[in-house]
């Protein structure tokens, strides 16, 4: 383990990039890059993101002990870079994606299978030196599982419920899952390519649709990255209204998830009641901001519109109603032995794995990792609000349910505080236009975990490159671990307790 602050010291030797805000981006040599990877593999820091563009690999890191965040960029003129995934497995899928989209090859890895590219697009390396496809890719090779009396169960991409598409390949021994291998990429929409050259308005709409259930959090992360790049100061009231929307989004999703998880244990009563709560949140959101999911309500520079005159009253009414209806549901969950029988000890993920993957959100916090981007690095107005970060260590489905329950209560309290102390004033400003190339980075806590957005703006304020990273990247792989040694029939409830985003991951 390295000493506190060693990330800073290590990067002092690199070339800082001007106009990258609010944290530093540093161009490093292969030597520093390799030293960074060793720190990463040794657990000295956490990977926040890994992405590429032609001739350059970017690695975003966070050192927990010193709370430093940094982007290290390695020039790779020959299109290759020393693989991160080789010594730090959480990077593997991200690297396969870099190879698919940009054409950057991680050197030294055994797994060269494509990830998002299923061999169907009319173009190869769409984010790099785009070229026509080379013809059919060989059929996707799932990892072999050897042993007596094993059988395979392929599921998807089209699933039985109203859920997003993806493929799961189970290897089972009787009822018990020996291995799950995911294959994702079915909903890849080419969002990063669409973002290249987009105006800020167009880009905001696109990033707000990376994962519809987290539209507020994505729009907020994008807005904050743009505002960092352009050094735009957002009015106070906008910060508070953004937090209000973000907590409404968290509330709606957590209510929906608690019900859906219980429903997968055949306890439909919880789903019915939780769905009512969710609907009440969406209706209040629509009454206040004219969109049930609050799409396009957070914009670079502020928020699209102020609360209507009766807005505070509407939301206070909502909070009172949920405070009235929610506790009996919690009690019901707590007192139903047949339900707990399905959730306790099911889908366990080792906390060490959670830490290694930098897995955030309720999955992370239900497994001992206290990280919450609202607190660290933090952003307004959360620095002025009182809230605890609930953390559990059991790391099973039950803990993930309880974490959501605690966060529902937490969001109710946050909304209360916001409504009481909402500052007056304007809710948006014009973005500054620096007239030169600028870069911005933001990390925002969505209901699913921390969302990272990095971008570079051209001198005319169009987007030169933008990379949104969904929390699911560091959660999907852990689902493979969670299901091991569980029975096949418990997969849906494990999966629901994760609720990874396919769209956010596939981009």
Q: Which residue is nearest to ligand SF4 (CB)?
A: 209
Structure tokens at 277: 């709560």
The residues facing 27 across adjacent strands are: 15, 73
Q: Which residue, 212 or 425, is less far from ligand SF4 as judged by CB?
A: 212
In the structure encoding, which two tokens stand for residue 298, read together?
Answer: 């957070």
286 binds ligand SF4, rule: CB under 6 A: no
Q: How far is the CB of 212 from another protein (least distance, A)?
A: 3
Q: Say how many residues make up the chain.
A: 507
> In angstroms, what CA-CA distances link 254 with 19, 327, 422, 494?
38, 14, 24, 16
Q: How far is the CB of 293 from ligand SF4 (least distance, A)?
A: 8
Rounded CA gap, 56 and 78, in Å?
10
The binding track of 208-247 with respect to ligand SF4, each residue x by CB under 6 A or -, is: -x--x-----------------------------------
Which residues inside 176-215 make contact with ligand SF4, applying CB under 6 A?
A: 209, 212
Interatomic CA distance for residues 132 and 134, integer angstroms: 6
- Min CB(467)–another protein separation in Å: 16
Nearer to another protein, 83 or 472 (CB): 472
> Using CA atoms, how far apart are residues 384 and 215, in angstroms rounded to an integer?
24
- Note whether 291 binds ligand SF4 by CB under 6 A: no
The minimum distance between CB 248 and ligand SF4, in angstroms, equals 17
Pairing of strands 438-445, 20-21: parallel
Measured from the CB of residue 205, what is the shortest distance to another protein in angstroms?
A: 6
Distance CA 257, CA 318 (A): 19
Q: Which does 268 bind (CB under 5 to 8 A by kind): ligand SF4, another protein, none?
A: none
Look at strands 15-16 and 24-27 and give their pairing.
Answer: antiparallel
Residue 231: count other Cβ atoms within 10 Å of its Cβ.
Answer: 14
112, burial (CB in 10 Å: exposed 0-12, middle 13-18, buried 19+)? exposed
Residue 418 touches which of another protein, ligand SF4, none (Cβ within 5-8 Å per kind): none
Report the alpha-carbon distance of residue 170 to residue 357 in Å, rounded: 22
Smallest separation (angstroms) from ligand SF4 to the CB of 507: 13
Residues that bind another protein (CB under 8 A): 118, 120-123, 126, 157-158, 160-165, 185-191, 193-194, 202, 205-206, 209-213, 215, 256, 269, 272-273, 275-276, 278-279, 282, 286, 292-293, 295, 328-329, 332, 335-336, 501-503
- Residue numbers at the binding site for ligand SF4 (CB under 6 A): 209, 212
């Amino acid at each position: 383990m390295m000493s506190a602050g060693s990330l800073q010291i290590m990067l002092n030797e690199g070339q800082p990039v001007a106009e990258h805000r609010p944290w530093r981006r540093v161009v490093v040599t292969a030597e520093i890059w390799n030293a960074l990877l060793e720190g990463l593999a040794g657990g000295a820091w956490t990977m926040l993101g890994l992405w590429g563009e032609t001739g350059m690999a970017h690695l975003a890191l966070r050192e927990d002990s010193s709370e430093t965040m940094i982007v290290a960029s390695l020039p790779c003129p020959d299109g290759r870079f020393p693989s991160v995934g080789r010594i730090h497995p959480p990077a593997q899928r991200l690297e396969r994606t870099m190879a698919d989209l940009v054409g950057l090859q991680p050197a030294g890895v055994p797994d060269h299978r494509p990830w998002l590219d299923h061999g169907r697009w009319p173009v190869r390396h769409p984010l790099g030196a785009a070229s026509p496809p080379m013809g059919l890719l060989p059929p996707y090779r799932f990892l072999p599982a050897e042993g007596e009396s094993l059988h395979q169960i392929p599921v998807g991409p089209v699933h039985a419920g109203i859920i997003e598409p993806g493929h799961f390949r189970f290897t089972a021994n009787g009822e018990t899952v020996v291995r799950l291998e995911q294959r994702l990429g079915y909903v890849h929409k080419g969002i990063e390519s669409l973002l290249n050259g987009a105006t800020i308005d167009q880009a905001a709409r696109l990033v707000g649709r990376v994962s519809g259930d987290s539209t507020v959090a994505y729009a907020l992360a994008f807005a904050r990255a743009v505002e960092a790049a352009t050094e735009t100061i957002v009015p106070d009231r906008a910060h508070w209204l953004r937090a209000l929307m973000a907590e409404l989004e968290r509330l709606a999703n957590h209510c929906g998830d608690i019900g859906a998880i219980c429903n997968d244990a055949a306890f439909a009563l919880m789903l019915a009641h939780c769905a009512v709560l969710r609907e009440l949140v969406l209706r209040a959101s629509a009454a206040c901001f004219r969109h049930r999911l609050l799409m396009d309500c957070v914009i670079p520079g502020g928020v699209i519109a102020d609360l209507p005159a009766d807005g505070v009253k509407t939301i206070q009414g909502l909070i009172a109603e949920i405070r009235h209806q929610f506790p009996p549901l919690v009690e019901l969950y707590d007192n139903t032995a047949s339900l707990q029988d399905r959730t306790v000890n099911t889908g366990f993920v080792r906390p060490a794995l959670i830490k290694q993957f930098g897995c955030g959100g309720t999955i992370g916090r239900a497994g001992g990792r206290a990280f919450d981007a609202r607190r660290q690095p933090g952003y307004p107005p959360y620095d002025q609000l009182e809230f605890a970060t609930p953390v559990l260590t059991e790391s099973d489905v039950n803990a993930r349910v309880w974490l959501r329950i605690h966060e529902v209560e937490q969001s109710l309290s946050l909304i209360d505080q916001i409504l009481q102390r909402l500052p007056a004033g304007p809710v948006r400003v014009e973005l500054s236009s620096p007239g030169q190339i600028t870069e911005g980075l933001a990390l925002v806590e969505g209901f699913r975990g921390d969302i990272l957005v990095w971008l570079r703006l051209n001198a005319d304020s169009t987007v030169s490159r933008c990379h949104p990273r969904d929390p699911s990247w560091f959660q999907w792989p852990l689902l493979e671990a969670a299901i091991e040694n569980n029975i096949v029939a418990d997969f849906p409830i494990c999966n629901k307790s994760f609720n990874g985003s396919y769209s956010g991951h596939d981009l």
